[in-house]
Amino acid sequence: MRVCFLYDEIGSRKLNEGYLKELSESGVEVSPFRSSRGLKHRFQLNFRNHRKIAVVDGKQGWIGGFNVGNEYLGKSAKHGPWRDTHLKVQGPCVLGLQEAFWEDWHWATGAVITLNWHAESHPQQDQQVVIVPSGPADKQDTAGLLVQQLIHSANQRFWVTSPYFVPDQGVQDSLRLAAMRGVDVRVMIPERPDHLLVFLSAFSFLPDMLKAGVKIYRYQPGFLHQKVMLIDHSSATVGTVNLDNRSFRLNFEITAFIPSADFANDVATMLEADFSKCRRVTLDEVSQRPMWKKVVSRAAYLMAPVQ
């Protein structure tokens, strides 16, 4: 069996070299994504592979927020229980995940690997799944445009969970407009910060969000890392895109869009359970902060895109 393991060299900078050597000696083909390629390509260092993909024989695939680490097992004293969502897919849509991995592997190694490209049928033939890869090589800002389109298409509700919530102006405007036209807009973010600048920067624009009717919730039990969007009662997404500029413009990301009422109902049930473990942020909480905290939050917002 051929096993190919690709990892983001920046995000996995603490990865033990001995572990990688052990994998290689066991026959696993291991490669970093190679964001850094010397001085000639030094400006690519900020491009990160944030995708979390697993594909087996071109028949089964997994996509979502899960990385591999002790914190995902709830072993981090700092973050506590880790809340994430991953999705298993089968059928022809798996080839969309496989294509993204194939391209990433070719970028990292220069090698062209032979894979199974025969689309496997699945008993649930009428289920549609659209795999949407995105990244800095795209001609358009695919991830940001996808999020805005989903917000604009919502008529009853738009619920989104994101560990890093520093949306660009276009997404901020879309969220506020949706709330003002009567859509139930809910944003779930962590209570416990993972990156301090990202955490602080949210306070600079949350007042305008809250005034427009956007509901902000902070997840309490542990660190919230899932990236899920629910649109009305008809569709939902699971993937790797956060609502921030890094995901929109710098990271290589991937999203599964499922236009299914049954799937949307399952996601709604899952998110309702999560919302029950959140506290809702109030306008007074963010607007009555001391002036120095507001200045710090604004400075953090300006710096957040490069973090």
Sketch out the chain's domains with CATH numbers.
4-306 (3.30.870.10)
What's the burial of 210, exposed, middle or buried (CB within 10 Å: 0-12/13-18/19+)? Answer: buried
For residue 43, what pLDDT is reported? 45
- Amino acid, single-letter form, for residue 137: A
Dist CA 205 CA 233 (whole Å): 28
Dist CA 26 CA 20 (whole Å): 10
Q: Where residue 269 falls among pLDDT bands split at 50, 70, 90? A: very high
Mean pLDDT of the chain: 87
Dist CA 177 CA 303 (whole Å): 26
pLDDT at 287 over 90: no
User: pLDDT by residue (tens digit) across 35-68?
Assistant: 655 444 444 556 789 999 999 999 999 999 998 8
Q: Where residue 71 falls among pLDDT bands split at 50, 70, 90? A: confident
CB < 8 Å & 24+ apart, contacts of 123-127: 124/91, 127/91, 127/258, 127/260, 127/263
For residue 10, what pLDDT is reported? 80
Q: Are 91 and 126 in contact (CB under 8 A)?
A: no
Q: Are 175 and 147 in contact (CB under 8 A)?
A: no
Choose between 13 and 277: higher pLDDT: 277
Dist CA 87 CA 13 (whole Å): 26
Contact residues for 187 (Cβ-Cβ < 8 A; gap 6+):
160, 161, 162, 165, 175, 209, 214, 215, 216, 217, 243
Catalytic residues, which ones?
A: 50, 52, 57, 225, 227, 232
Mean pLDDT value across residues 142-152: 97
Share of the chain above pLDDT 90, in %: 63
For residue 98, what pLDDT is reported? 97
pLDDT at 115 over 60: yes
Choose between 123 and 228: higher pLDDT: 228
For residue 197, what pLDDT is reported? 62
Dist CA 240 CA 253 (whole Å): 6
Contact residues for 26 (Cβ-Cβ < 8 A; gap 6+):
none
For residue 195, what pLDDT is reported? 64
Contact residues for 117 (Cβ-Cβ < 8 A; gap 6+):
58, 95, 98
Per DSSP (E only), the strands in 128-270 are 130-134, 157-161, 165-166, 184-190, 215-219, 223-224, 228-231, 235-239, 243-244, 251-258
Dist CA 48 CA 101 (whole Å): 14
The first and second tokens of residue 196, run together, are 């301090």
Dist CA 163 CA 194 (whole Å): 8
Mean pLDDT value across residues 205-225: 93
